[in-house]
Amino acid sequence: MQRIIVDPPATAGTGAAESGVFDSPRARLDFYRHEIHFESSLLSNRTNAYLSAQSFLVIAYASSMANVNASWGHLFTLVVPTLLALLGMVSSMHAWPGIRASYEIICHWQFKQRQLLASEPAMGQAYDDSPLFSDWENSKKGYHVSLLFSLRTPWIFSAFWLMLGGFSLWAQLR
């Protein structure tokens, strides 16, 4: 008969604080900073992928608007640019939740970091009398301003695609 060897069951008294996950405020701060860095990288990757996709759509839109074929160019420039504009709007709507989720997670970890630094004044002192983090870096406004580009990009491209779709319909139907 075969036996499966498993870890012994955890007792009721082994919580995160007792198991030594954060044995010091510095370890907790390092954890928060790591999570902020990870989510910031994820947000950057999502924004870069979104911008790359949008740039290819813009190139395809411009190329399709330049079609001057006499036999089918009018129908092509009516349908294809409008569909590309619609695709751009749909991709913007699908990119928004992921970008917003990363932003909210970054806000959560920044809040936890601010609370830790406020509750542990000695943590802010490095090896000298200068604070570890400046007031600007530790304030909500500081990191929020740095994330605005990623937050605004899907909305800007949505408006851009709405204008381009309207323009392509107007240019072909007038």
Contact status, residue 125 vs residue 131, Cβ threshold 8 Å: yes
Residues whose CB falls within 8 Å of the CB of residue 31, separated by 6 or more in sequence, listed in order: 22
* Beta-carbon contacts of residue 169 (< 8 Å; ≥ 6 apart): 78, 82
Q: What is the pLDDT of residues 20-39, one digit of tens each?
A: 677 888 888 889 989 999 99
Please report the pLDDT score of residue 42 as a whole number.
95
Distance CA 117, CA 22 (A): 15
Checking if the pLDDT of 17 tops 50, the result is no
CB 118 within 8 A of CB 32: no
Hey, how many other C-beta atoms are within 10 angstroms of the C-beta on 65?
Answer: 17
Nearest to 154 by CA among 43, 6, 35: 43
Indicate the average pLDDT of the chain. 83
| Confidence at residue 75, expressed as pLDDT on a 0 to 100 scale | 84
Least-confidence region, from 22-31, 84-93, 133-142, 155-164: 133-142
**Would you list the domain boundaries of the chain?**
25-121+133-173
- pLDDT for the residue numbered 140: 67
Give mean pLDDT, residues 125-145.
Answer: 60
Distance CA 7, CA 9 (A): 6
Which of 142, 172, 145 has the alpha carbon at shortest distance from 82?
172
- Which comes out higher in pLDDT, residue 128 or 170? 170
pLDDT at 133: 56
Q: pLDDT at residue 150 above 90?
A: yes
What does each C-alpha distance from 61 to 51, 67, 82, 167 come to in angstroms? 15, 10, 9, 12
Mean pLDDT along residues 4-22: 57
